[in-house]
Amino acid sequence: MELKENMQFEITTKFVPNFYNSKKLKVVKINASNVRIEMENAKYGGVFPLDLFQSLIRNGALLLDDGRESEEDTA
């Protein structure tokens, strides 16, 4: 998956460093080695190595938030 700034991800229970019990995070900045993120409900952001962030996506810890409501939300 090609990462872009302002992408939003839903955080699953597999995402261990969820200190703020956030449900979403947003990619703020990307470079060749790091991804800077901002978590919902957090005052500060964080930085992940690019390969670790991509493995969190592959392992299902982060799910791309495409802006659509889930079926549970619309029921």
pLDDT in tens, 13-55: 998 877 778 899 999 999 999 999 999 888 888 999 999 999 9
Mean pLDDT for 2-12 is 95
What is the identity of the amino acid at 11? I
Closest by Cα among 69, 59, 53, 73 to 2 = 53
Provide the whole-model pTM.
0.81
Residue 2 pLDDT: 92
Q: What is the pLDDT of residue 43?
A: 84
Per-residue model confidence (pLDDT) at position 63: 97
